[in-house]
Structure 1
Amino acid sequence: MRKLLLATAATLIAAAGAAYSQDAKMSFFVTSVGSGKGADLGGLKGADAHCASLAEAAGVTGKSWAAYLSTSDTDARDRIGKGPWVNAKGVKIADDVVSLHSDANGITKQTALNEKGEAVNGRGDTPNRHDV
């Protein structure tokens, strides 16, 4: 399940910067809504802009956001920085890229929060909005 979560386009990771939100250290969130165009996010640049827009609407400013997405030329792992990653409630998700991609990461249904610090409906919820 954790590997499925990492593979989704909705998982977002901050590259760098300061923020003002539920927790100023927030550097990881699952998007609360899509772009409205299905999987057409306008490439990596458009996906990153969607992430930034959601974060800014939630009061998180001054960060550069990278959607956890890959292309044929770019691996998502190479886009997200070195860590650590922390959710909107201040819970550490992972210290580094290796731990983020291991079974020991801190991604659970309870910690994979959206940009507003809210849980995302997943397995066992109606409607199920994510594979969390």
Structure 2
Amino acid sequence: MRRLLLVTAAASLAAIGLASSQDATMSFFVTSVGSGKGADLGGLAGADAHCGSLAEAAGISGKTWRAYLSTSDTDARDRIGKGPWFNAKGVKIADDVASLHSDANAITK
């Protein structure tokens, strides 16, 4: 069974249920919560909206969320800004896109 994995960054989100412990610097989250339509997220705009909905449900507002997804015309790396990115615990995930894609990123922290 395939699981949908959305990585949202640039002004991003966290996991549902962490709203009370969110850090104001949070700009990155990973989720496996799908839209209910399998891999059909409605393109980049739909994926971004899904990430925004997850963030809002978790009590995170006032940020613009971007799904870390590519299309034939758009590279995911170009959609998320330059960094740095922080998770809900305030841990820096990466300083920049190169760090995000390196073995030294802190995505699992």
TM superposition score normalised by structure 1: 0.70
How far apart are residue 15 of structure 1 and its match? 3.5
Query: Residue type of the partner of 2:71?
Result: T
Partner of 1:10: 6
Partner of 2:39: 39
Query: Residue type of the partner of 1:47?
Result: A
Any conservation in 2 of the 1:21–1:60 contact (CA below 8 Å)? no
In 2, Cα distance between equivalents of 1:79 and 1:69: 8
Any conservation in 1 of the 2:5–2:32 contact (CA below 8 Å)? no
Does residue 76 (structure 1) correspond to residue 72 (structure 2)? The answer is: no
In 1, Cα distance between equivalents of 2:21 and 2:95: 20
How far apart are residue 30 of structure 1 and its match? 1.0
Please give the secondary structure, in 2, of the residue aligned with 1:73: coil
Instruction: Calculate the aligned-residue CA RMSD, in Å.
Output: 1.8
Unaligned runs of at least 5 residues, structure 1: 1-7, 112-132
The percentage of aligned residue pairs carrying the same residue is: 81
Partner of 1:91: 91
In 2, Cα distance between equivalents of 1:9 and 1:71: 15
Where in structure 1 do 4 or more consecutive aligned residues deviate above 3 Å?
none
In 1, Cα distance between equivalents of 2:76 and 2:87: 19
Partner of 1:117: none
Partner of 1:53: 53
In 2, Cα distance between equivalents of 1:21 and 1:61: 14
Any conservation in 1 of the 2:11–2:66 contact (CA below 8 Å)? yes
Alignment of 1:116-127 (within 5 A): none
TM superposition score normalised by structure 2: 0.83
Query: Residue type of the partner of 1:14?
Result: A
